Structure 1
Amino acid sequence: MYTTSTQTRRDLIASSVVPVSLLILHTSPENAVASVRSLPFSSINEVVQYINHSCNRRFLQSVRSSCYNFLYRGTEINASSRDTEVSAFIIKDTYDLLDPNTYQSTDAVAYFQRLEDKLSLSGYNVKPSNGHLATTCQKDAAKWGRPMSIWPIGDTGVDFIWLASGGVFWPLSDPSKELEIASEPLQRLDKALQGDAWEIMFRADNGVLAVPAEFDEEMRYLLKHAS
């Protein structure tokens, strides 16, 4: 359970009045960042309000039930800002799991194509061609870029799958073993969020809100105490 000391709570409340700049990014296969639009927020608290009002309610409830464990992606976004500002982002990434440049491996492409076929035949809504990978481990996300917690937007076009045994989709821990996929409602997403460095494949047709991981502590406190 996440706990915060009295002094830390005072510090978090003080820090929550820092102005926040929200940048909205629209992407295309030809250009990872086709356009950027800045929307000012007056505080971290307003970002949390945005999450509560606009992000996927099922995912948000799973985060709460997991004792506020977050899901992360590494990004190439390094937006400059004044010392008095932080930035959050709405991102719509291109789908790259079937791209040989993602893992620099033809074996990885062949694996994700087999997974695509398996998931399509089984009727899953999320698969490599319309999904992305995120991790429960901030340090693992940092290997791919600036780590940010992600928050899928909207209550439609959002789905999640993960490996029933946990761990990462690639590289395979045991290539000879048949993959068993887990998803809701038979398995609980909040339990997957508590996994140790687990990868979760997600679909977010409306994009995700991404918040730099350096604000995790403030985010957890404010989410926990949001009215």
Structure 2
Amino acid sequence: MLPSTPPDEITLLVEIIHPVTRVIVNYDFVDLVLIGARERHTGRDLSYDELSQLGSSLGLPVVERVDMELARALELAKTLDAQHEGFVLRWPNGFRVKVKSTRYLEVFAAVHGWSEQSIARAWASNTLDGVITGIPEEFQSEFIKIKNKLDALLAAELQRFKAMMDTAPHGVSRKEYALWVRANMPQHLQPLAFDYFDGASIKPKTESYLRRYIITQFCQQKRG
């Protein structure tokens, strides 16, 4: 609730600063920040001086004003870090344009452009660790959570395959071996079992194959 009631003829424009509404920038306070106000009958956009007076009367912080030309704002936006979203340019008639910082847009795309399926695909191609180190620490937890889940599934499948290979028959014909494989092994592990029989160096292939199998199952579950 506002400390006092705004005038009836004024519509407030505020930014909600709260962890629940956070997108990228990690603010160190919780509040409503007054970013603009209009006369609701005429549509007139209050000047910054009027906005400051209104904010003072309502007990609301007011957005900072930075005086600069458009070209300067565009140039400065390239140098800001991800914790500075950018600028809102305001013309005398109230027209506004957002200028986002380059780094903010990069982080936004990195964080919000990833679905659980795309994270899983990065894990399958062994590129997820690089993705995680490339985003701010406070956004890494969801990526790490999915990575740990997939790592556990991979470890279980590798252990399962090893245990089955430890019981596989030796010194038998390929036909006899094939009959054992088809009777005792799940279908998705059978191609690996034949590589094992043929004496191939299967460790790298086994892990790569199982990663692809796991993300196929993972993505199907998410779609279902």
Range class of TM-score, shorter chain: under 0.3
From the two aligned structures, give the one with the greater strand fraction: 1
- Structure with the largest fraction of helix: 2
Q: 1 or 2 for the larger relative contact order (CA 8 Å, sep ≥6)?
A: 1
Q: Which has more radius of gyration?
A: 2
TM-score (ref. length: structure 2): 0.20
